Amino acid sequence: MRYEVDSYTLEYVEDEDKYYISFRDSVEQDCRIEIDKDIFDTYTNSKKTYIKIKNETSRHLEQSDLTEEDMYKRAFEPVESVEETVIKNIEKEKVNEALKDLTSTQFRRIDLHIVNEITIRDVAKLEKVQKSQIQKSLELGLKKIKKFFEE
């Protein structure tokens, strides 16, 4: 019997009738220590209890965060049709294909500037390059994306 738990593994070896806990220590060495049955049972029960509490909490967490306005919107906004969902997915696939043509630098800079709305000046500071290099990279990347959609 073997339980994988977060950063450790609990194990019962029937042939030996022994209980073990395995983990990696602070210097990244694998450790395996024999433990008592009581400790083994305590670990397994505490983990099961933790999971139960976590699941119960997560079920109610989202509902408590919703405002009356959010609940109203959910109740009365039209549900997206299957066709709309398919079209959005196709568009996302096209954008992802276009992004594959970019160099990693162009992709990173477009992500920082356009998606994360970081100014060109701040992107230049982050990457420790001149503002003009960021602008040129963005221009070339956006040109590649535009060309992809024109084809």
Instruction: Report the distance separating Cα 119 and Cα 125, nearest Å.
Output: 10
More confident position, 102 or 59? 102
pLDDT at 39: 82
CA distance to 11, 18, 115, per residue, from 15 (Å): 12, 8, 57
pLDDT at 141: 92
pLDDT at 136: 95
pLDDT at 92: 87
| Whether the model pTM is above 0.75 | no
Q: Residue 54, by phi and psi: left (phi above 0), alpha (psi -120 to 50) or beta?
A: alpha
Instruction: Give 61's pLDDT tier (boundaries 50, 70, 90).
Output: low
Which candidate, 133, 136, 137, 127, places its Cα nearest to that of 102? 137
